[in-house]
Amino acid sequence: MKKIRKAIIPAAGFGTRFLPQTKAMPKEMLPIVDKPVIQYVVEECVASGIEDIIIVTGYHKRSIEDHFDAPSHDLVSLLEEGGESKKPLLEEVERISNLANFIYIRQKGGYGNATPVKNAQHVIGNEPFAVLWGDEFISSNPPRLKQCIDVYERYEQPVISGIKIEDRRRLTKYGIADIEPMQGEDRVFKIKKIIEKPSPDEAPSQIATHGCYILTPDIFPILNAQERGTGGEYYLPEAIDQLREQGRDILACVIEDGRYYDTGNKLEYLKTVVDYALRHPDLNGKFIEYLKGLNL
């Protein structure tokens, strides 16, 4: 069995929900206190054993490459002149560029979340690989991706991460998996179908599939032959469903002890910032005192 060493992070979207901010700054670079969103995704990959990270970008995403590049000579000199007080910052910016082997691809082809995966085919080759969206992540231990990789290594079948939605009224926001149990497993299920944004009464389960995939190279012939779907876009879930129809088992791995953060809209982004600010060691409780003082 080939080890999963490579991960694709699609990051070519315009981020229109955050305009005008995202006119010049990629949505993946929006800060969560003092780190951009995409760094949390990259760190999840690294903590899960990924060595090569393929970021599929657009023409307006150069700052992503700059962020994961080595720090400039001027910045290093400035931090070195700051002495011991600046040493942690110097170590951090140098650490970022050494997290993994970074490969950048400019997205080509039609819109849709399948296109960046197709664009990375020549880098992936004949290996299993991971796909994670660049604007959402889960805080969990072990990392979400590691949990999915562990499932793949047991069954050697494609895996999609899942979360249990406790409030059935929220099922309308997600792709909900129609699942069947697997012997000896309490959080791994076989996916029969994924229903996009069903009503609470029509939802086949409370397991929502979301932004972490373990895929095998037999997905690429399907992607290469795929026709445009709704809105003229190419969709990865539709390609995965075709893979299932060809006889592949598609598994759902329900993530243990995780908190899901979706920074793709303003409200959820602000919730993420507040949550991390409350736990940030540099703020040392000062932020919560500020919130208490607002008398909300």
Same domain, 275 and 180: no
Please determine, for residue 24, whether its predicted confidence score (pLDDT) is greater than 80: yes
**Averaged pLDDT score across all residues of the chain:** 91
199 and 282 together in one domain: no
Q: Which of 67, 35, 105, 61 is nearest to 279 (CA)?
A: 35
Q: Same domain, yes or no, for 91 and 129?
A: yes
Query: Which pLDDT belongs to residue 197?
Result: 83
Residue (of 136, 106, 110, 148) closest to 123 by Cα position: 106
What are the backbone angles phi and psi of residue 88, rounded to the nearest 5°? -60, -35
Q: Say which amino acid occupies 150.
A: D
Span 190-232, pLDDT tens digits: 998 888 888 888 889 988 888 899 999 999 999 998 888 777 7
In the numeric block, the tokens 């792709």 are attached to 175
Q: What is the pLDDT of residue 104?
A: 96
When divided into structural domains, the chain yields a total of 2
Record the pTM: 0.92
148 and 74, same domain (yes or no): yes
Task: Write down the residue that tokens 């080759």 correspond to.
Answer: 125
**From CA 56, how far away is CA 47, in angstroms rounded?**
21
| Residues in Cβ contact with 269 at an 8 Å cutoff, skipping those fewer than 6 apart | 18, 30, 263
Give the CA distances from residue 9 to residues 120, 131, 221, 238, 292, in Å, rounded to whole numbers and listed in that order.
Answer: 10, 6, 20, 19, 38
The verdict on 205 and 284 lying in the same domain is no
Predicted local distance difference test score (pLDDT) of residue 13: 83
191 shares a domain with 87? yes
Percent of the chain with pLDDT over 90: 54
How far is 42 from 97, CA to CA, in rounded Å? 11
Residue 1 lies in a domain: no
pLDDT of residue 169: 86
Q: Please write the tens of the pLDDT for every residue from 265-291.
A: 899 999 999 999 998 988 878 898 898
Is 204 in the same domain as 283? no
Distance between CA 236 and CA 272 in Å, rounded?
26
Both 134 and 228 in a single domain?
Answer: yes
- Tokens 């999963």 belong to 4
- Count of CA atoms in the C-beta half-sphere (13 A) of 194: 26
pLDDT, position 73: 92
Per-residue pLDDT tens digits for 80-130: 888 888 999 999 999 999 999 999 999 887 788 889 999 999 999 999 999
DSSP conformational letter for 70: P
Residue 33, class by beta-carbon neighbours within 10 Å (0-12 exposed, 13-18 middle, 19+ buried)?
middle
Per-residue pLDDT for 168 more than 90? Answer: no
Which residue has tokens 């950048």? 104
Q: What is the pLDDT of residue 188?
A: 94
Look up the domain containing 203 and give its range: 6-264
Residue 201, CA distances (Å) to 46, 205, 260 in order: 39, 10, 24
User: Using CA atoms, how far apart are residues 262 and 134, in angstroms rounded to an integer?
Assistant: 10
* Residues 106, 110, 113, 114, Cα dihedral to 10°: -90
Residues 258 and 269 in one domain: no
Tokens 């736990």 correspond to: 279
Cα 39 → chain centroid: 10
pLDDT higher than 90, residue 56: yes
Q: What pLDDT shows up at residue 61?
A: 84
- 178 in the same domain as 82: yes
